[in-house]
């Protein structure tokens, strides 16, 4: 398994890279974990509802893609992680894999003094779950083809949260969004959180083999 840091990347190019890598892994090539930040873009899952787009800011677009979930935003300051791995080789079902991604983020947040939680029926990682202040810090959406995964999760680190006001994030109209920077009151090193996330994810995947 190889970890690949892409830096700031255009969404469409990274999507094509994932598609090529999925085909390679299906043929037995090395698994990869891509970590990136995207130029500002909105993505809508295959079963997402266009009415959750309220108004797109100038210079952005919304791309419908094949992952699960509804609409979300990707932009600078947000760590996006795309594992292209074989669930069969890791002895994981789809639900267990999503839980593993959530656990990765929960453990990363712990290192910053933040308690991440799951919300039943709402994939992703949340803060103050079950309270009126419930807010999402990480969105998850995946696709699995012949046991090989693509897409993944987006963790708000130093993200400009103003972009989320243009949508109903993940289809929710009554829940907020947050970031590590907002929760801690300080700007976070993207290099540091990227390395920590990669190590944590790889450790959890290796533990299941």
Catalytic residue among 170, 198, 201, 205: 170
| Tokens found for residue 44 | 């809508």
| Total domains present in the chain | 1
What does the pLDDT read at residue 121?
Answer: 86
CATH code for position 147? 3.30.930.10
CA distances from 142 to 102, 151, 194 (A): 12, 5, 19
* Structural domain span for residue 92: 2-207
Q: Cα 196 from chain centroid?
A: 15
Residue with tokens 């799951």: 118
Are 31 and 200 in contact, with CB atoms under 8 Å apart? no
Summarize pLDDT for 119-167 with one digit per residue, the tens: 998 899 999 999 999 999 999 999 999 999 999 999 999 999 999 898 7
Predicted local distance difference test score (pLDDT) of residue 40: 96
Q: What is the pLDDT of residues 10-27, one digit of tens each?
A: 999 999 999 999 999 999
Helix (H) or strand (E) holding 189: none
| Residue 62 known to be catalytic | no
Predicted model pTM: 0.94
Token duo for residue 146: 């012949």
Give residue 174's pLDDT: 66
Through-space distance between the first and last CA atoms of the chain, rounded to whole angstroms: 12
Q: Tell me what pLDDT residue 168 has.
A: 81
């Amino acid at each position: 398994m190889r970890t690949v840091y892409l830096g700031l990347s255009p969404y469409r190019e990274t999507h094509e890279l994932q598609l090529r890598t999925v085909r390679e892994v299906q043929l037995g090539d090395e698994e990869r974990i891509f970590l990136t930040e995207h130029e500002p873009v909105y993505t809508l899952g295959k079963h997402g509802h266009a009415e959750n787009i309220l108004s797109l800011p100038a210079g952005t677009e919304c791309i419908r893609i094949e992952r699960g979930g509804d609409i979300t935003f990707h932009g600078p300051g947000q760590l996006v992680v795309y594992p292209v791995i074989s669930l069969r080789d890791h002895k994981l079902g789809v639900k267990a894999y999503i839980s593993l991604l959530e656990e990765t983020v929960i453990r990363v947040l712990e290192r910053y003094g933040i308690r991440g939680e799951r919300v039943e029926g709402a994939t992703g990682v949340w803060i103050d779950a079950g309270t009126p202040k419930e807010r999402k810090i990480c969105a998850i959406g995946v696709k699995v083809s012949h046991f090989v995964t693509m897409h993944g999760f987006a963790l708000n680190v130093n993200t400009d949260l103003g972009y989320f006001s243009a949508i109903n994030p993940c289809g929710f109209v009554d829940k907020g969004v947050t970031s590590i920077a907002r929760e801690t009151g300080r700007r976070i090193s993207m290099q540091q959180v990227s390395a920590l996330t990669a190590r944590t994810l790889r450790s959890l995947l290796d533990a299941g083999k």
